[in-house]
Structure 1
Amino acid sequence: MHTFRAMNTEFVTQGLSEAEQGEAESWFAFVEKHLTRFDPGSELSRLNRSAGRPFMATPILFEAVSVAVDYYHWADGVFNPFLGQLLTDLGYGRSFGETAAEEEVSSQEPDRTEANARLLGAFGPEIGAKLNPLLRSIELPPAWSVDLGGIAKGWSAEKFAGMMCRKGIAHGAVSAGGDMMLWGGEDRPQQVNIADPFALDRDMDSLVIRRNAGVATSSRLKRKWLDGEGQERHHILDPRTMMPSLTDVVQATVIHPSLTAAEVYAKCLLILGLQAGAAWLERKHPAAAAVLVCEDGSVCTAGFIEAYRQENGKEAG
């Protein structure tokens, strides 16, 4: 097992040689340099400062933003990568590695009523950002700000796993802050534990992965803070209200052949809540399965989770 830090989280790889471990560290450092919104010198930060005019992007930024826009449509707008400025205004302007959880934000929260009203009316079937694949240019509407925090780790881990597969690495895994891409499990099953969101030192369930799959967990209990008025905020925003989501689901774990999809859909389930979220996942994304933890501590499932739980000798919930 090989561990290192990048993108302000812990990465873990398994099944790689020392040279390939070095490739992993270089790749995720490269991704961070381009896609973080917390570094004012990153390419993403330069894109956000250029809102209102075309920005000539590097291949990695253009691909990442293009994928994020695709998921905006596939998730019916419940996943929205254009709320970066709103997150900053709510107090999430620094990485959680730079500030303690639940630290009170010292600055007064600006009045975003008018701006939020404009944003609420800005998103629909045709999103306002203009992407030109021939020129590799991105033009954001004025005041829009891209936040790839809900997709970049999973997308980059999935990309890296693909690189390793093409090199002939038959079995392996990469974890980006706990979101994992696993491959080669057909003849070498891999166990994935799901943490209890109310007691992080304890696992509440475990799954056995026997196929290439991504496993992502999103929780509204993890990254939270107090704003200037003492109100608790968290980083999962509901694009329908432009406020932190508040549903009966506090943690969602999604399994999907794509880690990028798993990461996005886990956040969507937190926003939609148990009943609407489970129905949405099963209707629109049948390749996904989910384990959902509710506020009262109950655990529910959605999708074809039985394949993973029964293999582990457990009855489906």
Structure 2
Amino acid sequence: MTMHFSTFFKVVSLFFFVTVINYSVQAQVVKKRTTLLMGGRFDITIVAKDTLTAQKSINEVIAEISRIEFLISDWKPSSQVSEINQYAGIRPVKVDKEVFELTKRAIQFSEITNGAFDISFAAMEKIWKFDGSMTQLPTAEKVKQAIQKVGYKNILLDSVASTVFLKLEGMKIGFGALGEGYATDKCREMMRASGISAGIINASGDMSTWGNQPNGQPWSIGITNPFEPEQLLMTINLQEQAITTSGNYQKYVILDGKRYSHIINPVTGYPATGLTSVTVYGPNAEMANAFSTSLMVLGKEKAGILMNDFPKYNFMMITDSGKVIKSRNFNR
């Protein structure tokens, strides 16, 4: 039927695999730990000079992700994002600079994609449910009512006061997997600053990498075949890059014999169609995630046009019919 996820833009966990062995080469060790944070699975891999340093670094990464979670997770009542949602249509909410800047970047990305990406899409969760509880399609009237609460142009920012205001009562923002991508990027920066030479922060497929494996080889990342989820479509090597995939083949609902994807077009209020999965890689996981989500909504023609303006990011789109469309430098 469907798989339950807590984060709103979250797609499918474990699109990627990394083969990591705990071994020592050239006075380096690789340590890996898996934990649940931000409503999903995090796999943290660290290359360090010794086991103690590696384990300490993993603890620091977990602490940093937890800190971010308590700032931006809309399912935590005490978070600043929950407070923003609570006072939608009532008053602006003062937030930390970090939350303000993340919101500002999200709005800028909405502008870039002409609304194909929109963090206020979270209001649609009231009518589209992919946790197994939805037994019939929402009525056209309910979709129309809900879509009236969606629209990044109604998120008002005051940079002087550092406030975020949702103009309409009933509006809601949610960072979901975008927040996870942000967290992986922040942890990568933190580890680099502390002298950790290499590693991977993998948030259920939103992945930031840096450095090499101890044997000098880059990290090898496997991309799942959306039509045969137990098989890999290909592997690519990454250094100092982030990668993310959005897809519609594991989180969906079947009603009246038709499959409806969890990736909703924020403009129409209905599930996106045409593409089965989109993989994007480039310098930044936050931006790669925003791209992969919005490309699913835009469709192959508009997606290709958009990505021409961002040559640092490469993409692979797989259509519902199985056609593979890649950017010119994908996996080169």
Quickly name the TM-score band, shorter chain normalised: 0.7 to 0.9
Matched, 1:207 2:236: yes
Question: What is the distance in 2 between the residues matched to 1:242 and 1:48?
Answer: 20
**Secondary structure at 2:119 match in 1:** coil
In the TM superposition, residue 246 of structure 1 has moved relative to its aligned partner by 1.1
Q: 1:238 to 1:303 in 2, by over 3 A?
A: farther
Question: What is the distance in 2 between the residues matched to 1:306 and 1:23?
Answer: 32
In the TM superposition, residue 226 of structure 1 has moved relative to its aligned partner by 5.2
**Secondary structure at 2:41 match in 1:** strand
Select 1:195's aligned residue among 196, 217, 224. 224
- Correspondence for 1:277: 303
Matched, 1:28 2:54: no
Asked if structure 2 preserves the Cα contact closer than 8 Å seen for 1:104 and 1:226, the reply is: no
Question: What is the distance in 2 between the residues matched to 1:172 and 1:108?
Answer: 44
Greater relative contact order (Cα < 8 A, sep 6+):
2
In the TM superposition, residue 177 of structure 1 has moved relative to its aligned partner by 0.4
- Correspondence for 1:10: 41
- The aligned amino acid for 2:223 is I
Deviation track 1:27-66 (CA, whole Å, cap 9, x = no partner) reads 2222222222233443322211111211111344223222
Asked if structure 1 preserves the Cα contact closer than 8 Å seen for 2:212 and 2:219, the reply is: yes
- Gaps in structure 2 of 5+ consecutive residues: 1-31, 48-53
Q: How does 1:100-119 map to 2 (within 5 A)?
A: 103-105=132-134, 109=138, 111-116=141-146, 118=148
- Correspondence for 2:81: 44
Asked if structure 1 preserves the Cα contact closer than 8 Å seen for 2:314 and 2:327, the reply is: yes
Question: What is the distance in 1 between the residues matched to 2:329 and 2:165?
Answer: 39
In the TM superposition, residue 232 of structure 1 has moved relative to its aligned partner by 4.4
Asked if structure 2 preserves the Cα contact closer than 8 Å seen for 1:104 and 1:225, the reply is: no
- Correspondence for 2:129: 91
Q: 1:154 to 1:55 in 2, by over 3 A?
A: same
Q: How does 1:29-178 map to 2 (within 5 A)?
A: 29-52=66-89, 53-91=91-129, 99=131, 103-105=132-134, 109=138, 111-116=141-146, 118=148, 127-142=153-168, 143-178=170-205
In the TM superposition, residue 288 of structure 1 has moved relative to its aligned partner by 1.1
- Correspondence for 1:19: 56
- Correspondence for 2:319: 294
Greater displacement, 142-151 / 171-180: 142-151
Normalization by structure 1: what TM-score?
Answer: 0.83
- Gaps in structure 1 of 5+ consecutive residues: 93-98, 308-317
Count of residue pairs the alignment pairs up: 290
**Secondary structure at 1:193 match in 2:** strand
**Secondary structure at 1:266 match in 2:** helix
In the TM superposition, residue 292 of structure 1 has moved relative to its aligned partner by 1.6
